[in-house]
Amino acid sequence: MSKNLYVGNLPYSTTSDELREAFGQYGTVVSASVITDRESGRSRGFGFVELESGGEDAINSMNGADFQGRTLTVNEARPRADRSRGGEDR
């Protein structure tokens, strides 16, 4: 079963291909993407990697690891919160 990982504290210069390469040693990468700002197109400093297998190994090895001079935060991605209410608290 595939596992979707959140990867935080990425250097702003990191590309999706570099993310794919870094996590590829733990299993088959289904997708890798660095999240960018909708308006400026600049990296927001985090991304997501979906691994076909080896997700737990990737979390255990990459969480706290140095990547391009930054200490990564890696954990299982949580489903995106429902944003349909327009940010209003109820």
| pLDDT score for 55 | 95
- Per-position DSSP letters for the chain, written without gaps between them: --EEEEEES--TT--HHHHHHHHGGGS-EEEEEEEE-TTT--EEEEEEEEESS-HHHHHHHHTT-EETTEE-EEEEPPPPPP-TTTT---
- What are the tens digits of pLDDT across the range 68-89? 999 999 999 988 776 555 555 5
| Domains detected in the chain | 3-76 (3.30.70.330)
Q: Examine the pLDDT at 90 and tell me if it is beyond 50.
A: no
pTM for the predicted model, two decimal places? 0.86
| pLDDT score for 81 | 73
| pLDDT score for 77 | 96
- What are the tens digits of pLDDT across the range 10-55? 999 999 999 999 999 999 999 999 999 999 999 999 999 999 999 9
